[in-house]
Structure 1
Amino acid sequence: MQTKIDSTADAIALSLRASIATGELGDGARLVERELAERFSVSRIPLREALQKLEAEGLVEIYPNRGAVVRALTLADVDEIYGLRVLLEGDAIFRAVKRMNEETLVRAELVHRLLGKATTAEKQGELNREFHELLYAPCGNARQLKAIRELRGQVERYERLQNTLLADTPAFQHEHGAILKACKLRDARGARATTVAHLASAKRIVEGVVSRMQNETDIQAGTVRRRK
């Protein structure tokens, strides 16, 4: 029975996650249990389980007696997310380099080349994730890898933000090349340093987009207040 609930909750979480990513459910949008239960034709038990999953991922906030809302990404969030990513991803690749086999390096090289040729944001995003996951996987810490995916997901959920990041794919390709070179040389310290530098580049772009998003929200809020 628990497997059934988990499976249903996962399906609901997947659907809501997609709606948040596309902006269908924008920052601050209320997630009303009754409405969602009707929408997915489920009881509130798997629905609450799904919302708890999204809360754990940092996508929603749940308030006692008030329900859940889509969480807005702030500059403070960006600082925290990338601070953790630097620690987790830097450590993951540092340890992974020591265990990396030739097959992993060949696959990462292929993905790197394909990413340079990708023409759609969807394909670029898919290959970018695969590149990093290939290089981190040999670290062997499943919980650490899961945490890395969840932190990345908190940024990638914004299509506008993700598209801005992927627009810099040519520049990131140079950084990916430096990471891959360090891995081939079995230079764990170099792999960690180039990964940290890569994350710093991404963080600067994310901070710029989040600042603009916040400014637009403030302007819209000011316009509404004036109309009132």
Structure 2
Amino acid sequence: MDAKFDSTADSVASALRELIVGGELGGGERLVERDLAERFEVSRIPLREAIQQLAREGLVEIFRNRGAVVRMLTVQDVDEIYGLRALLEGDAIFRSVKRLDDETLARAELVHRLLGEAVSTQKQGELNREFHELLYGACGNARQLVAIRELRAQVERYERLQNTLLADTPSFQQEHEAILSACLARNARSARALTAAHIETARGIVLDVVARMAAQG
């Protein structure tokens, strides 16, 4: 019974996460349990566990009188998240580079090519995530990889709002190319520096997005 419950809660959390990242549930929007339970055809128990899970990941805030709402990030939030990402992801690729096998590197090359051809922002987001996860995967620290994934999830919705982040910004694919080349050369120091610089590029773009949204709101 416990295994089934966990699986259901995880499944609902995954679906809710995608609604938030994809922008269907916007910042400040209330999560109405009755409506969501009907939508996902689940009871309130796994739904509440899913919401608690997203709250731990920083995607949702739970208020005593308002219930759960999609968290709105401030400029400071974004600045802090990308600062942590630069540290964690730079260290992850540094540790991973010399452990990567040829099959993983070949997969990363394929994903890089597919990312350059992707049209939809959703597909770009999925491929971008896979590209980085492939290159970090051999770092040897599972908790670090979980932290990286959760931090990325908190800002990915803003990245998708800014279409130029991947589709119309050649520098992003060029930065991916440089990171991949450093990994193929087994140059851990270069891969770390290039990854940190890549994240700084994203930070600047997303900070502009969040600042504009705050000014409009």
Match of 1:89 in 2: 89
Paired residue secondary structure (1:204): helix
The CA deviation string for residues 73-101 of structure 1, in whole angstroms up to 9 with x for no partner, is 21111111111101110010000012122
Deviation at 1:198, TM superposition (A): 0.3
Deviation at 1:36, TM superposition (A): 3.6
The CA deviation string for residues 9-54 of structure 1, in whole angstroms up to 9 with x for no partner, is 1232233223323433222122233444454444332121011111
Q: Does 1:194 align with 2:194?
A: yes
Identity of aligned residues (%): 72
Find the aligned partners of 1:199 and 1:159 in 2 and give their Cα distance: 12
Q: Which runs of 5+ in 2 are unaligned?
A: none
Find the aligned partners of 2:160 and 2:111 in 1 and give their Cα distance: 24
Paired residue secondary structure (1:167): coil
1:123–1:40: structure 2 CA closer, same or farther, 3 Å change rule? closer
Contact 2:158–2:206 under 8 Å retained in 1: no
Aligned residue pair count: 217
Find the aligned partners of 1:3 and 1:130 in 2 and give their Cα distance: 27
1:173–1:40: structure 2 CA closer, same or farther, 3 Å change rule? closer
Paired residue secondary structure (1:31): coil
Find the aligned partners of 2:186 and 2:36 in 1 and give their Cα distance: 50
Deviation at 1:159, TM superposition (A): 6.7
1:69–1:112: structure 2 CA closer, same or farther, 3 Å change rule? same
Match of 2:184 in 1: 184
Find the aligned partners of 1:37 and 1:121 in 2 and give their Cα distance: 28
Match of 1:23 in 2: 23
Kindly report which structure 2 residues correspond to 1:14-53, keeping only aligned pairs within 5 A, or say none. Answer: 14-53=14-53
Kindly report which structure 2 residues correspond to 1:55-204, keeping only aligned pairs within 5 A, or say none. Answer: 55-158=55-158, 160-161=160-161, 163-204=163-204
Instruction: For 1:143, give the aligned amino acid.
Output: R
Instruction: For 2:98, give the aligned amino acid.
Output: K
Contact 2:90–2:196 under 8 Å retained in 1: yes
The CA deviation string for residues 54-88 of structure 1, in whole angstroms up to 9 with x for no partner, is 10121110123442111102111111111110111
**TM-score after normalising by structure 1:** 0.86
Bigger Rg, structure 1 or 2:
1
17-26 or 2-11, larger mean C-alpha shift: 17-26
**TM-score after normalising by structure 2:** 0.90
1:138–1:123: structure 2 CA closer, same or farther, 3 Å change rule? same
The CA deviation string for residues 174-206 of structure 1, in whole angstroms up to 9 with x for no partner, is 111111121122111111000000000010000
1:105–1:42: structure 2 CA closer, same or farther, 3 Å change rule? closer
1:23–1:128: structure 2 CA closer, same or farther, 3 Å change rule? closer
Paired residue secondary structure (2:6): helix
Paired residue secondary structure (2:137): helix
Contact 2:13–2:51 under 8 Å retained in 1: yes
1:56–1:121: structure 2 CA closer, same or farther, 3 Å change rule? same
Deviation at 1:117, TM superposition (A): 2.5
